[in-house]
Amino acid sequence: MTAGEPVLEVRDLHVTFGDVRAVRGVSYAVRPGEVLGIVGESGSGKSVTSAAVMGLLPPSATVTGSVRLRGQELIGAPEKRLTALRGKTISMVFQDPLSALTPVYRVGDQIAEAVRIHQKVTKEQAMVRAVELLDLVGIPNPGQRALGFPHEFSGGMRQRAVIAMAIANDPDVIICDEPTTALDVTIQAQVLEVLKTAQRETGAAIVMITHDLGVVAGFADRVLVMYAGRPVEVGAVDDIYYRMRMPYTVGLLGSIPRVDRGGRQPLVPIEGAPPSPAALPPGCPFEPRCPMAVEECSVAEPALLEVGPGHEAACIRWADVGVRPPGRHAAQAAAAVRGGRGAQEVVLRVDGLVKQYPLMKGSLFKRRVGTVHAVAGISFDIRQGETLGLVGESGCGKTTTLMEILELVKPQDGRIVVLGQDTARLAAGDRMAIRRDMQVVFQDPLASLDPRMTVHDILAEPLRTHRRGDTGSRVRELLRLVGLDESHAARYPQDFSGGQRQRIGIARALALEPKLVVLDEPVSALDVSIQAGVINLLDALKSRLGLSYLFVAHDLAVVRYIADRVAVMYLGRIAEIGQVDTVYDGPMHPYTQALLSAIPLPDPERERTRRRILLDGDLPSPADPPSGCRFRTRCPKFRTLAANERSRCVESEPEVRALAQDHGVACHYAEKLEVVQNHEESHP
Amino acid sequence: MAGFLARRLLNYLVLVAVASSLAYMLAAGALDPRSNYADRTPKPPPAVVDAQLTALNLNDKTPLIQRYATWAAGVLHGDFGRTVTGTSVNEDLARRAGVTFRLVLLGLICGSLVGVLVGAYAAVKQYGLFDRLSTGMSFLVLAIPVVVLATMLILVGTWLNENVFGAKVFLVSGEYSDGLDTGFWGGVLDRLQHLILPTVSLSLGLIATFSRYQRNMMLDVLGADFIRTAVAKGLSRRRALTRHALRTALIPVVTYFAFTFGTLLTGATFTEKIFGWHGLGEQLINSIFTNDVNTVAAIAFLAAIAVLAASLAADMLHAALDPRVRTA
């Protein structure tokens, strides 16, 4: 921790919107050069707190308490003084880089604008400074890029531009509100690196708001955990991760899927859902979900108690907290069906699948100007009772693959065989029969359920469509199966929380007793504590009903938990495929290695000592993929090769070749590299 | 960008040709200039009528396609033919187009400018007094037919003339006073006095629609993240609103602006009629009554040109305002 006077001091901050108390007494202080992580789930009030500090809340919000920036009180200060401080002494980086820049102005101009508001410089000087800043945040060719418009920048590039804007005037405090949440994991690693550079350059204190305990582990000095609008635990980063004293923190850490933990251990979800700020329970707000709750907990809300040097927790039983308590919802460890793949029946086989989209131009006379190679020849199979995780960053073609499979028609090239039937030779009746045996669960549980239908109707619809009798008892059975109450059948989707909605989506998919379930990012819209419950449910259902899953996700940690085999996709091709533990423990494709090393671990010590493989730049456009190996433009391995070795990468596209039993890699120079040390090995 | 505009222009030329040809066919097929001669006393002999109609290219005994060919050949040389009374359509419409353009252009500029400002301000002060008032007024204006609105304006104007100014400040009939001899500036003043009330009556409806439209666009943008970014980097709220919000919210309104211009050209008929302006709209109605095929076709042609010129202007404005369109 850095010594010195705090630059930003928040005391007893309260924010209310009408009757809703969104923030209920937050206090913290950050010193120059210090990084404070604020962690919490959605609705915990973490973003509202930061907006209140910046004075960016709408007029309908009432803010009380004190925010002192270098000793100056900000709450109640005149707008003019706030305007002078914003962007100069305190600045902010926002979550969604795609909408954080004004679309109609050049990126360079927007950064120069930030410079010119606070410094007396000419237009030219400001522009020169803007180019310098873009260079600092690692934008290649900054002079030219400064003239570009935001839509010409990728998400990661835009976030760099926003960071450049935030550090333009050498601020004392930078507030980052989920700065990497909207980004892919390799881009996230780049942006976190840029933030570290920015901090080094400006010496600013950083307040890092995030829901991802992995991101703060390696970045923050101190962590503040928020729940229901209040801090529930504050302390040095190691205290929070290794010596936590609040059951919520314990639960949060227990429910994160970790990429460094092999074997099939069930996650420990936190039961229930976070309370609505409009209807808080009496006493400790965590009490209804707390596995350690005693009667006393519902009497009064506990204050933050000193539990160690610089470590506070809001729990009356803090002394008993420490070991991870088993949740009542924890699923039984499933008997994994591993090995002996050959014996099982193949439920889905994809062979050399190709999907291209034409790029059209012109309004009256359309003509083709190019081709987007969304999926460029991929092959995999799924056997009975098996889960294949299809992972990759956005734009790698994983969703296209899934849609092609669901369409059940002849693909542009290659073959799709579902449950022994080739989709190219399906009659309408066969297709209907296959649809019954292959179901899908979508990413957004609210958008995929008709808001005007009751849960009963939603679950009964597939049964009626396929003329299965006695819908009533089947609906009740399905609700029980996914852990919902039978009485819920009469309600509408909007009456449920995110996790419950996804359970309804799963129940709908299971209504017809399918053999194969296709899951499109089924947990990525959910909070971690909820996500764990859904993952456990999917796992339990699989072993109970003998299902096979095709699990599409961008989160490699989640895939490690649920999948038996994993296929890593890059730019429409499979880079590496194989048994989950083989791939995660000894990835052989440079892309898989970089991807795995980019995932932050919720473990500060290991985060600090980890070697991270940073990839350069962004994903190339799928309309114009590089020749030969598609990954070579960003490949760290390619750079170490000699010129004569490189030519092979440039000229020939590597096919997936088996390098071990059930482990295929599409790289000419594949070699094993351990990037994620297994958790159990280092912490026996 | 230039290539894109050139292609657009080409498309539009084809559309103008198709639209005006169809308009001519429709007018020549539906209107019956021969009936104009039926009521005359003494009744002219059929041979004379035929000769007269043939001279005007209006004879329904000539096949339609042949009449169309004659008309189209004329149009290609810039000649729209003759009216039923034998005068040149070109001369008549040239004068009237000037009158209408002056009215519509001024009305549109006033209406859209004030409408955008009212709408933007109402959005910024959402649910405030100004917002409620402007919303109420907009709906009131939209609910009143133009005829009533214009007549009310005339009444208010004359009342103001008599009771407030004590002189004729607002002139309510015609576009200028006949036989005025006050020199150049006197003439300009006189025309302005004539112009005020029709412009106001045309603008009011536009202000109402534009303000509604702009208010919605502005509300969309006000909640956008980039406004928050702009404030967070130290822009005052006012500057963030004008520089970042208004500019972005203007983009969709531009399209609306251009198309309104096209439709107003003939849509200002009521206003012209009530204030005694002899413009295109008035003439369109008249020519339909007098079975004046050539004039109807010519006005349809002008309207088509206006709509397409306006949408070309919209494309260009859109590209100027929105860089995302430029690269597409």
A451: closest CA among A484, A488, A487, A492? A492
Q: Which residue in B5, B126, B233 has the most chain A C-beta atoms within 10 A of its own C-beta, making it the best mutation to test that interface?
A: B233
Residue A328: per-residue pLDDT = 40
Domain boundaries, chain B: 2-326
CA atoms of B245 and B224, how far apart (whole Å): 9
Query: Is the separation of the CB atoms in A623 and A539 below 8 Å?
Result: no
**Nearest residue in chain A measured CA to CA from B323:** A104
Task: State the Cα torsion A149-A155-A157-A163 to the nearest 10°.
Answer: 100
Residue-wise pLDDT for A580-597, tens only, equals 989 998 899 999 999 999
- The β-bridge relationship of strands A72-73 and A61-69 is antiparallel
Which tokens belong to B106? 């001024």
Burial class (CB in 10 A: 0-12, 13-18, 19+), B190: middle
Query: Is the separation of the CB atoms in A205 and A220 below 8 Å?
Result: no
Helical H segments across A546-589, by residue range:
556-562, 580-585
Cα–Cα distances in Å, from B41 out to A231, A369, A556, B53?
100, 70, 96, 18
Please compute, for residue A559, the number of CA atoms within 13 A of its CA located in the half-sphere on the CB side. Answer: 28
Looking at domain A1-89+172-189+203-332, its CATH architecture is: 3-Layer(aba) Sandwich (3.40)
What dotted CATH number matches A336-570? 3.40.50.300
What is the three-class DSSP state of A641? coil
**How many angstroms separate the CA of residue B76 from the nearest CA in chain A?**
25
Answer yes or no: do A117 and B224 touch at CB < 8 A.
no
Reading phi first (left if > 0) and then psi (alpha if -120 to 50, else beta), residue A441 is in beta
Cα–Cα distances in Å, from B267 out to A461, B100, B179, B262?
52, 10, 30, 9
Sign, CA dihedral A476-A480-A485-A491, equals: negative
CA atoms of A37 and A53, how far apart (whole Å): 15
Which of B11, B225, B232 is facing A96, going by the closest CB pair? B225
Please name the helix (run of DSSP H) or strand (run of DSSP E) that holds residue A415, with its range, or none: strand A413-418
What is the three-class DSSP state of A368? strand
User: Pick the residue with more confidence: A258 or A233?
Assistant: A233
A41: closest CA among A173, A181, A175? A181
Residue A331: per-residue pLDDT = 42
Residue-wise pLDDT for A352-409, tens only, equals 999 988 887 765 566 777 888 889 999 999 999 999 999 988 888 888 999 999 988 8
What is the three-class DSSP state of A28? strand
**Average pLDDT value for residue range A424-444:** 89
Q: Does A62 touch chain B (CB under 8 A)?
A: no
User: Residue A678's pLDDT band (boundaries 50, 70, 90)?
Assistant: low
**How many angstroms separate the CA of residue B312 from the nearest CA in chain A?**
14
Residue A354: per-residue pLDDT = 93
Strand partners, A348: A382, A418
Please name the helix (run of DSSP H) or strand (run of DSSP E) that holds residue A308, with its range, or none: strand A305-308
Residue A53 has pLDDT above 90, yes or no: yes
Cα distance between the two ends of chain B: 9
Cα–Cα distances in Å, from B27 out to B31, B93, B210?
6, 17, 34
Strand partners, A439: A517
CA atoms of A26 and A230, how far apart (whole Å): 6
Residue A547: per-residue pLDDT = 92
Query: Is the separation of the CB atoms in A163 and A198 below 8 Å?
Result: yes
User: Residue A549's pLDDT band (boundaries 50, 70, 90)?
Assistant: very high
Query: Is the separation of the CB atoms in B4 and B327 below 8 Å?
Result: no
What is the three-class DSSP state of A674? coil
Please name the residue that has the structure tokens 């909640």. Answer: B223
Residues of B in contact with A79 (CB under 8 A): 236-237
Cα–Cα distances in Å, from A662 out to A259, A380, A568, B136, B265?
20, 11, 14, 71, 74
Count of A–B CB contacts within 8 Å? 82
Query: Is the separation of the CB atoms in A587 and A576 below 8 Å?
Result: yes
Residue-wise pLDDT for B37-59, tens only, equals 877 777 888 888 888 888 888 88
CA atoms of B162 and B169, how far apart (whole Å): 9
Answer yes or no: do A117 and B233 touch at CB < 8 A.
yes
Which tokens belong to A482? 């996914």
Cα–Cα distances in Å, from A46 out to A320, A532, B225?
27, 22, 17
Non-local CB neighbours of B137 within 8 Å, separated by 6+ positions: B208
Residues of B in contact with A162 (CB under 8 A): 229
**Average pLDDT value for residue range A10-19:** 92
**How many angstroms separate the CA of residue B225 from the nearest CA in chain A?**
5
Answer yes or no: do A83 and B235 touch at CB < 8 A.
yes
Residue-wise pLDDT for A309-342, tens only, equals 889 999 888 888 765 444 444 444 444 444 456 6
Cα–Cα distances in Å, from A386 out to A558, A583, A637, B128?
16, 16, 32, 60
Please name the residue that has the structure tokens 């002899």. Answer: B278
Provide the whole-model pTM.
0.82
Residues of B in contact with A88 (CB under 8 A): 234
Task: State the Cα torsion A97-A99-A100-A104 to the nearest 10°.
Answer: 120
Q: List chain B pLDDT tens, one digit each, 328 residues.
A: 677 778 888 888 899 999 999 999 999 888 888 888 877 777 888 888 888 888 888 888 888 899 999 999 999 988 888 888 888 888 888 888 888 888 888 898 899 999 999 999 999 988 899 999 999 999 999 999 888 988 999 999 889 888 888 778 888 877 777 777 777 888 888 888 888 898 998 899 999 999 999 999 999 998 888 999 999 989 998 899 999 999 899 988 888 887 787 778 767 888 888 888 888 888 888 888 888 899 999 988 988 888 888 888 888 888 888 888 776 5
Cα B219 from chain centre:
29
Cα distance between the two ends of chain A: 30
Non-local CB neighbours of B112 within 8 Å, separated by 6+ positions: B206, B210, B253, B257, B260
A195: closest CA among A434, A328, A35? A35
Residues of B in contact with A94 (CB under 8 A): 225, 228-229, 232
CA atoms of A460 and A443, how far apart (whole Å): 21
Domain B2-326: CATH superfamily is MetI-like (1.10.3720.10)
Which tokens belong to A465? 């469509």
**Nearest residue in chain B measured CA to CA from A169:** B233
**Nearest residue in chain B measured CA to CA from A363:** B8
**How many angstroms separate the CA of residue A227 from the nearest CA in chain B?**
25
Considering only CA atoms, give the Rg of chain A.
26
Domain boundaries, chain A: 1-89+172-189+203-332, 96-170, 336-570, 578-684
What type of residue sits at position A568?
V
CA atoms of A248 and A315, how far apart (whole Å): 9
A459: closest CA among A442, A471, A443? A471
A669: closest CA among A594, A580, A591, A610? A591
